[in-house]
A and B are shown apart, each in its own frame.
Chain A
Amino acid sequence: MMDTLAQTDRAPANAATFLGGELGPGPAWLQSLREQARVRLGEIGFPTTEQEEWRSTNVAPLRQWPLHAAEPGARQVGPAEIEPFRLAGDGYCLVFVDGRFRADLSTPPGRDAGFQAGSLRAQWEGDARELQQHLARHAGGDANFFTALNTASFEDGAFVSVPAEAVVEQPVQLLYLAASERPGAAVHARNLIVAHSGSSLKVIETYASLTEEPHLTNAVTELALGPGARVEHCKLQNENERAFHIAAVQAAQSRDSHWLSHSIATGARLARNQIQTRLGAEGAEAILNGLYLARGEQLIDHHTVVDHAQPHCDSHEFYYGILAGRAHGVFNGKIFVRQDAQKTNAKQTNRNLVLSEHALINTKPQLEIFADDVKCTHGATVGQLNDEALFYLRSRGIGAALARRMLVRAFANDAVERITLAPVRAHLEQLLTGWFEGLDTSLSSHDR
């Protein structure tokens, strides 16, 4: 394995070179995709807050970072360090440390499992037909700088493919851990998930840090859902509070397919999630569920796009944000209803709980409707803890700190309940408890 890695290891470059898109490895067809992406990079230019899409999210600090491709193996990571992040129980887990697939730590499906899950690189080095068919076809045409950068530069990632009518009962976890102790290590992770007609799959995508140094994750996940396919995709991001995390999750949905997407974002200094689906044939349904918890100096940004391209599709979007300290939340929810997309039913809700007077939320629905027989609703709320509810709990003997925690937890409840994966819910329960405990000191100023 180290041999294949060696050929791609280069001397660390400065940020400008790095962000210019150093081409990653791969066969000719892939190189051609990468070249195109690098050209796109130059055309788009590095995002600035002058651009509408990046108005609230300033990624300029990245240019000052000592950015470099994460060097694999710089730090020894063993099974014990992986264990706390494993959520798939007896299920399948693909582990990536600093962006590189670790076969020794992974539990991929066996040959008789009836579906495939493994390293993307192994796939392009082997039978690349499905990759050629799907890779970079669903990622929104690389319209986004970081998506294009990812296409130009990704070194590895996960490939999951479920054949027609196959039902994968156990969830598949893609676990990305940043371990490098050298500040500025960057990983471009690329995942391709293909669910053929009538198949069913649950994927958990986890991003976390073993290091406390600042690092960059630039992840792109493409999902192709065949007719009648059902995919639950749960992205959990809890990287360290110096990290920059930029991710795109892009689904392409065929007829009668069902996509249940979760984005649970609690980590990173700056996190930007682009969650996107194209409802490309009748009867497709998407549920976009999101929960972001930000405190301290964190910025957590979600840009979602639901593209109703064809008639009789449903989308339901629920995003919940809890903001404390000096944190900044961004929610931008775009819904396109194309001219042909009659009988569209689209619903969008963004609710925010602001726990501190210094926290900030920018929320913006964006509906562009070109069909005339559609049902589209959207609503955004920004509020604080309900004083009456707080008093009610306290009047029964529950202390102020616990009462507050119960109410904050209650706010997140709907988002948690929408996740069907019990181990993920249990993990979230723990994570939320830890998060609230960290908050209590900053909240206890108004006890009476």
Chain B
Amino acid sequence: MGKESMLEIHNLSAGVDGKEILKGLNLSVQAGEVHAIMGPNGSGKSTLAQVLAGRGEYAVTSGSVTFNGVSLLELKPEERARAGIFLAFQYPVEIPGVNSTVFLKAAFNECRKARGESELDAVEFLALVKKKTKLLELDPALLNRAVNEGFSGGEKKRNEIFQMAVLEPKLAILDETDSGLDIDALKIVSRGVNQLRRPDNATLVITHYQRLLSYIVPDRVHVLAHGQIVKSGGKELALELEQRGYDWLLDGAAKNGKP
């Protein structure tokens, strides 16, 4: 293709507490694309998300991750965020005592500063926030509360995508954003994600189910099993997985493991 990848993961192995979970994973994502990572429970999907976001508990044992030409693994979590990585958490954290708006304004301005842009003042920021809450049909009253505190499961997930809408990352990683969402919330979240798609950004959708991919249509679908990508294909692969399950691929992965 001749075009430099936005995200280039090469032979990545990583684990937690001495247990290796990712075992030589390779993945390449171009700007403007949506990639879906599917796979059974325990295959390493969330580990991949956490490693990309820089969670300290996960140790990378080998391989490299390049993001827009920069070696991502060298960066602290906040530096990755400022470089344009965004992780929508599978389980968003409740932070009592930290006001949602104060938090998001701090995050937003830290990211702008890192890009050499001027900080927004309170008035400008609130105008932006108002616009984005509409996109996600998020009750603005939630933003007066502490971060995620007392939010319903659906509100937490919508809040993640809302934050993404405000921060406008280059690469968004959605970790099981569909889990726990009813169909209406799923549509709202998907519409939000789709409206944020641009030629210069990319999305990594991590999911167990095909359902989300009817709303966020991927360019590529990858199956993660036993810490590796065992199959890649177009959007039709997701439908095939829906019908056939993962077992036929898991056998293949087991064989792959034994040369």
Q: Write the residues of chain A forming the contact surface with B, with a CB cutoff of 8 angstroms.
A: 386-389, 391-400, 402-403, 406-407, 409-414, 447-448
CB within 8 Å for A393 and B55 given contacts A402-B106, A406-B106:
no
Q: How far is the CB of A428 from chain B (nearest CB, A)?
A: 14
CB-CB under 8 A from B253, the residues of chain A are: none
Interface centre among A389, A393, A395, A409 (most CB of B within 10 A): A395
Interface centre among B55, B95, B110 (most CB of A within 10 A): B95
Please give 17 more A-B residue pairs, beta carbons under 8 A apart, in addition to A388-B93, A396-B104. A386-B95, A391-B53, A392-B92, A392-B93, A393-B103, A394-B77, A395-B86, A396-B103, A398-B106, A398-B110, A406-B106, A407-B97, A410-B97, A410-B98, A412-B97, A414-B97, A447-B76
Within 8 A of A (CB), among B66-113: 76-78, 80-82, 86-87, 89, 92-93, 95-98, 102-104, 106-108, 110-111
List, sorted by A's number, 29 A–B pairs whose CB atoms are closer than 8 Å: A387-B56, A388-B93, A389-B93, A391-B53, A391-B56, A391-B93, A392-B89, A394-B54, A395-B54, A395-B80, A395-B86, A395-B89, A396-B81, A396-B107, A396-B167, A397-B82, A397-B107, A397-B108, A397-B167, A398-B107, A399-B110, A400-B78, A406-B102, A407-B97, A409-B97, A409-B98, A410-B95, A410-B97, A447-B76
Partner of A391, one of B77, B82, B98, B104: B77
CB-CB under 8 A from B76, the residues of chain A are: 394, 400, 447-448
Q: How far is the CB of B84 from chain A (nearest CB, A)?
A: 10
Q: How far is the CB of A421 from chain B (nearest CB, A)?
A: 20
Are B163's CB and A413's CB within 8 A?
no
B254 within 8 A of A: no
CB within 8 Å for A448 and B78 given contacts A395-B87, A396-B167, A406-B106:
no
B114 within 8 A of A: yes
Cα of A105 to Cα of B156 in the assembled complex, Å: 54
Interface centre among A388, A402, A447 (most CB of B within 10 A): A388
CB-CB under 8 A from A448, the residues of chain B are: 56, 76
B1-24 Cβ-contact flags toward A at 8 Å (1 or 0): 000000000000000000000000
- Across chains A and B, which 4 residue pairs bring their CB atoms closest together, nearest first? A410-B97, A397-B81, A396-B107, A413-B97
Interface centre among B53, B103, B111 (most CB of A within 10 A): B103
Q: How many residues of B are counted as interface, with CB atoms below 8 angstroms from the partner's CB atoms?
A: 33
Cα of A413 to Cα of B102 in the assembled complex, Å: 14
Are A397's CB and B93's CB within 8 A?
no
CB-CB under 8 A from A399, the residues of chain B are: 78, 110
Q: How far is the CB of A289 from chain B (nearest CB, A)?
A: 15
Interface residues of A, dominant DSSP: helix
Interface centre among A397, A399, A406 (most CB of B within 10 A): A397
Are B55's CB and A391's CB within 8 A?
yes
Cα of A411 to Cα of B97 in the assembled complex, Å: 6
Q: How far is the CB of A291 from chain B (nearest CB, A)?
A: 13
Cα of A398 to Cα of B86 in the assembled complex, Å: 12
Cα of A236 to Cα of B226 in the assembled complex, Å: 59
CB within 8 Å for A397 and B97 given contacts A391-B56, A391-B77:
no
Cα of A447 to Cα of B95 in the assembled complex, Å: 20
CB-CB under 8 A from B107, the residues of chain A are: 393, 396-398
Cα of A303 to Cα of B82 in the assembled complex, Å: 47
Are B78's CB and A397's CB within 8 A?
yes
CB within 8 Å for A398 and B78 given contacts A406-B103, A410-B98:
yes
CB-CB under 8 A from B81, the residues of chain A are: 394-397
CB-CB under 8 A from A397, the residues of chain B are: 78, 81-82, 107-108, 110-111, 114, 167
Chain A, Cβ-Cβ closest to B110: A397
B37-58 Cβ-contact flags toward A at 8 Å (1 or 0): 0000000000000000111110
CB-CB under 8 A from B87, the residues of chain A are: 395
CB-CB under 8 A from B54, the residues of chain A are: 394-395
Q: How far is the CB of A349 from chain B (nearest CB, A)?
A: 14
Q: How far is the CB of A391 from chain B (nearest CB, A)?
A: 6
Chain B, Cβ-Cβ closest to A402: B106
Interface centre among B56, B108, B163 (most CB of A within 10 A): B56
Are B110's CB and A392's CB within 8 A?
no
